[in-house]
Structure 1
Amino acid sequence: MTIETRDGSRSTRVRATGLAAVRGLALALVTLPGAVLGFTLAVVSIALVPIGVGLVTTPWVLTGVRAFADWRRVLAAEWAGVRIPSAYRPAPESANPWTRTFGMLRDPATWRDLRWLPVDMTAGFVTALLPAVLVLYPLEGLAIAAGLWRPFSELDGGYWYGFVHVTDQASALLAGALGVALLALASLAPRVLTLHFRLTRTVLGAGQGELAERVRVLTETRRDAVDTSAAELRRIERDLHDGAQARLVAMGMDLGTIEVLLDKDPAQARRLLAQARQSSVDALAELRDLVRGIHPPVLAERGLGDAVRALALRMPIPTEVSVDLPGRAEAPVESAAYFAVSEALTNAVKHANADRIWIDLHHVREGAGMLRITVTDNGRGGAAIAAGSGLAGVERRLGTFDGVLAVSSPAGGPTMVTMEIPCA
């Protein structure tokens, strides 16, 4: 049993070594041209920004660089278990090329990508190719010992394998012995491939300063969330006290009067009974509205997509909804997204003077995943995230989940509100 275990372990190591060599070779073949092309296009495009050409090309080039970097993040996690978090700010959705270009250039993650590309085309290329070299070069020595040196013996200066000058079968056997010795290093191939991805994480990962800033922002948004929750609880208490509770108290008083009047004045008792019945209907309606404001039943039962569709049906202006969600998010995320959409729709109806609204919900699978929502209206524009505004409240709500809000609303419209929440 011990021998079988050792054989199985040895077989596993051999497979891991061969797999690391194949992956490293494939990665090296993609790394060099991909990094060179991405870096060259990015530098040229940014250099052309002052003359206007770069304003159009830079967002496309940087989006491609981000996709290349995200692809490497996926490989690092799947092939080596190395997690490289993605910390991009959402790209501005504005049709204005100036806004899009400088919005992406102000993102620290953009410059981190551009610093990573030269490293990837040099040290990254070497560390990606080395696992294949550690496996294939010893095999070359064994092939020479097997007699494959003869076709190369006619080369000027002969054929060299390492420090062995191969001129005959004896020297070929010496090259084979060297290959066997080097074969011991082949087991390092998986570790070298992991080293490649750790190097990628060192350059591509977020720095301490950026992580500290993210912690500060998250701390502030958590504090805002606590304050918002406390205010929401006070609002619910006030609504219950002034609404349903007052109606129920009045209904109780009416029922007491009805008991007294049943024998003395049946007609008046019937009128009060009808009034009490209407009070119960009104109290029930207010309680339903209050519960719907806390957590809509359709959201709990049917999910975010159907809840937003139901919300759109209640809008006084035509509202189109497009949903592409492969599953359901966690309940707090769905709730935050629902009320954020509700607030954006309320703003569009109250202030935008729009006659049509479009809502798009879809899940972005790159990186750790992102729920992206856009609410667009054809109104007069001019919306802004100002202190005390509804959009500022949405921004605080999303910030609780490390989400972001972007608003593009030029004068004359249209207005596009984009919301993103990290979401698996």
Structure 2
Amino acid sequence: METREWLRYGVRAVLLGLLAIPLGVLNLPLLVLFLVALLLGPVPLVGVPMTQVVMVLVRARADLERRLAARWNVPITRPYAPAPTGAVPGGWKRYRWLLADPATWRDVAWLLPGAISGIVFGVLSLGLCAYGVQGIILLPLWLYLGTGWYGYGIYWPLHSVGEGLLSFPQGALILAAGLFAAPWLQWLNARFARLFLAPTRAAELRLRVTELTVTRADSVDAQAAELRRIERDLHDGAQARLVSLGMAIGLAEEVVERDPAAARKLLAEARESSTTALVELRHLVRGIHPPVLAERGLDGAVRALALHLPVPTTVDSDLAGRAETPVESAAYFAVAEALANMSRHSGARRAWVVMRHAAGMLTVVVGDDGRGGADPDRGTGLRGITRRLAVFDGTMTLSSPRGGPTVVTMEMPCALSSPKTSPSSGTG
């Protein structure tokens, strides 16, 4: 880590440690409010709505702690069970759901120890650096005071200046140690918070079931949409061509004896219609599962796709084998959708695709130097990529600031088979 980055990292840890002190103090009134709301629970029109309001505040505080923990590479998943149907705010059903959720009590159990750990680690992070800064400024302070009082006939003792000279390197050393220790102290605080705020094994299984239910529904919807697209393409394309072909042949049979020239013309039109129908069928089959994907794998298919793009696209692939067919297909169409969005909307002059596989994870990065500003909420393309990857427990991350560049990172867990002798890299 470079010195500048290390300093920035340490300063951020100190500032977040400073923030942890008032946040830790905030835990205490939240705990008191929850206990009061719990005691007032039997009181009509008071306890039920008050408990719900307090729990909204407690969960917001716990969610903030989870976001802060993520900054130190300590991810904490939200463990809350989904609200049941008809659980309106302020209602008895929502009240029972909140109190029956084990995550509620884990949040409440964290408030007091979380306050103590936040304050302690925050004070340590801030205190070490503050003590080092005090040592650094001691020398100029002694010199300033000595110069100021000298004009009044008061001579500053020489040993005080000596103490200032000695305190400077000590203060610099302590400050450096404090900046180095602050991220570790905040990491320990995040690890402690995860003991309470992370989901239990049962909650993880419940969340996993919910996630699988959603992804299954998305997969079913995607398959239904794909079938509708195929039916529409067949009806509007190849089927219409074949009907036209049959009509042309029928007319040719009727006029072949009395007007051979017209019959030949009709047969020529029929041949042209059959050729067009074959082309449309090939495109349709290619849209279901491209032959190049089956023959050359994800690497070759993406390179072939890049060759037909209007924007020069570099493909850098280091895949030592092939994934399962459904995974390859999902990755290919996700890359195709990302590149199609780039071609239509980005105004880019160049693009790139990087594919890697490590630790059981296929990672594909699609980027361009366009205008940026891509937003999944403003179109269906990026949302479609997310749904397609979610079926295989994959994720999509988008970085697209105004002015670019746009980088789409897609990850899917998978294993590779049929290892190649050497990886390839080149330009498509």
Q: TM-score, normalised by structure 2?
A: 0.53
Are residues 1:385 and 2:373 paired?
A: no
**Aligned equivalent of 2:220:** 226
CA–CA distance in structure 1, aligned partners of residues 349 and 69 of structure 2: 30
Partner of 2:332, secondary structure, is helix
User: Does the CA contact (< 8 Å) of 2:249 and 2:267 recur in 1?
Assistant: yes
From 105, 108, 116, give the equivalent of 2:71.
Answer: 105
**Aligned equivalent of 1:397:** 388
* Alpha-carbon offset, residue 397 of structure 1: 0.4
CA–CA distance in structure 1, aligned partners of residues 280 and 351 of structure 2: 28
CA–CA distance in structure 1, aligned partners of residues 333 and 69 of structure 2: 27
**How well do the aligned residues superpose, as a CA RMSD in angstroms?**
3.2
Change (3 A) 1:413 1:44: closer
**Aligned equivalent of 1:421:** 412
CA–CA distance in structure 1, aligned partners of residues 319 and 274 of structure 2: 40
CA–CA distance in structure 2, aligned partners of residues 407 and 282 of structure 1: 39
**Aligned equivalent of 2:26:** none
* Alpha-carbon offset, residue 221 of structure 1: 1.3
* Alpha-carbon offset, residue 355 of structure 1: 1.2
User: Does the CA contact (< 8 Å) of 2:400 and 2:407 recur in 1?
Assistant: yes
**Aligned equivalent of 1:250:** 244
CA–CA distance in structure 2, aligned partners of residues 391 and 262 of structure 1: 55
CA–CA distance in structure 2, aligned partners of residues 408 and 260 of structure 1: 64
Partner of 2:349, secondary structure, is coil
Counting only pairs closer than 5 Å after superposition, residues 39-188 of structure 1 correspond to structure 2 as 47-48=13-14, 50=16, 104-105=70-71, 109=75
**Aligned equivalent of 1:343:** 337
**Aligned equivalent of 1:306:** 300
* Alpha-carbon offset, residue 253 of structure 1: 0.8
**Aligned equivalent of 1:321:** 315
* Alpha-carbon offset, residue 308 of structure 1: 0.4
* Alpha-carbon offset, residue 410 of structure 1: 0.1
* Alpha-carbon offset, residue 51 of structure 1: 9.8
* Alpha-carbon offset, residue 222 of structure 1: 1.3
CA–CA distance in structure 2, aligned partners of residues 337 and 378 of structure 1: 22
CA–CA distance in structure 1, aligned partners of residues 326 and 255 of structure 2: 51
From 229, 240, 245, give the equivalent of 2:234.
Answer: 240
Moved more, 319-328 or 101-110: 101-110
**Residue 373 of structure 1 aligns to which amino acid in structure 2?**
V
User: Does the CA contact (< 8 Å) of 2:348 and 2:371 recur in 1?
Assistant: yes
CA-to-partner distance for each residue in 1:138-196, whole Å, 9 max, x for gaps?
A: xxxxxxxxxxxxxxxxxxxxxxxxxxxxxxxxxxxxxxxxxxxxxxxxxxxxxxxxxxx
User: Does the CA contact (< 8 Å) of 1:362 and 1:371 recur in 2?
Assistant: yes
Counting only pairs closer than 5 Å after superposition, residues 186-225 of structure 1 correspond to structure 2 as 207-208=200-201, 209-225=203-219
User: Does the CA contact (< 8 Å) of 1:109 and 1:206 recur in 2?
Assistant: no
**Aligned equivalent of 1:297:** 291
* Alpha-carbon offset, residue 214 of structure 1: 3.2
CA-to-partner distance for each residue in 1:368-395, whole Å, 9 max, x for gaps?
A: x100000000000001221652000100
CA–CA distance in structure 2, aligned partners of residues 224 and 106 of structure 1: 33
User: Does the CA contact (< 8 Å) of 1:405 and 1:418 recur in 2?
Assistant: yes
Change (3 A) 1:364 1:244: same
Q: TM-score, normalised by structure 1?
A: 0.53
User: Does the CA contact (< 8 Å) of 2:69 and 2:75 recur in 1?
Assistant: no
Are residues 1:334 and 2:328 paired?
A: yes
User: Does the CA contact (< 8 Å) of 1:303 and 1:334 recur in 2?
Assistant: yes
Partner of 2:409, secondary structure, is strand
Q: Which runs of 5 or more residues in structure 2 are unaligned?
A: 1-6, 19-66, 78-194, 416-428
Partner of 1:405, secondary structure, is strand
Partner of 1:320, secondary structure, is strand
CA–CA distance in structure 1, aligned partners of residues 204 and 307 of structure 2: 42
* Alpha-carbon offset, residue 102 of structure 1: 6.6
Partner of 1:386, secondary structure, is helix
Are residues 1:411 and 2:402 paired?
A: yes
CA-to-partner distance for each residue in 1:304-326, whole Å, 9 max, x for gaps?
A: 00000001011011011011111
Are residues 1:357 and 2:351 paired?
A: yes
**Aligned equivalent of 1:373:** 364
**Residue 327 of structure 1 aligns to which amino acid in structure 2?**
G
CA–CA distance in structure 2, aligned partners of residues 261 and 329 of structure 1: 57
Change (3 A) 1:50 1:217: same
CA–CA distance in structure 2, aligned partners of residues 408 and 235 of structure 1: 30
**Residue 316 of structure 1 aligns to which amino acid in structure 2?**
P
* Alpha-carbon offset, residue 242 of structure 1: 1.2
Partner of 2:376, secondary structure, is coil
**Residue 346 of structure 1 aligns to which amino acid in structure 2?**
A
* Alpha-carbon offset, residue 210 of structure 1: 3.7
Change (3 A) 1:102 1:298: farther
User: Does the CA contact (< 8 Å) of 1:381 and 1:410 recur in 2?
Assistant: yes
* Alpha-carbon offset, residue 207 of structure 1: 3.7
CA–CA distance in structure 2, aligned partners of residues 267 and 340 of structure 1: 51
**Residue 270 of structure 1 aligns to which amino acid in structure 2?**
R
Change (3 A) 1:377 1:49: farther
% identical aligned pairs:
58
From 262, 268, 283, give the equivalent of 2:277.
Answer: 283
The number of equivalent residue pairs is 245
CA–CA distance in structure 1, aligned partners of residues 69 and 391 of structure 2: 23
Partner of 1:419, secondary structure, is strand
From 228, 241, 253, give the equivalent of 1:259.
Answer: 253
**Aligned equivalent of 1:58:** none
Partner of 1:48, secondary structure, is helix
Partner of 1:109, secondary structure, is coil
Change (3 A) 1:103 1:420: farther
CA–CA distance in structure 1, aligned partners of residues 380 and 346 of structure 2: 14
CA–CA distance in structure 1, aligned partners of residues 199 and 303 of structure 2: 38
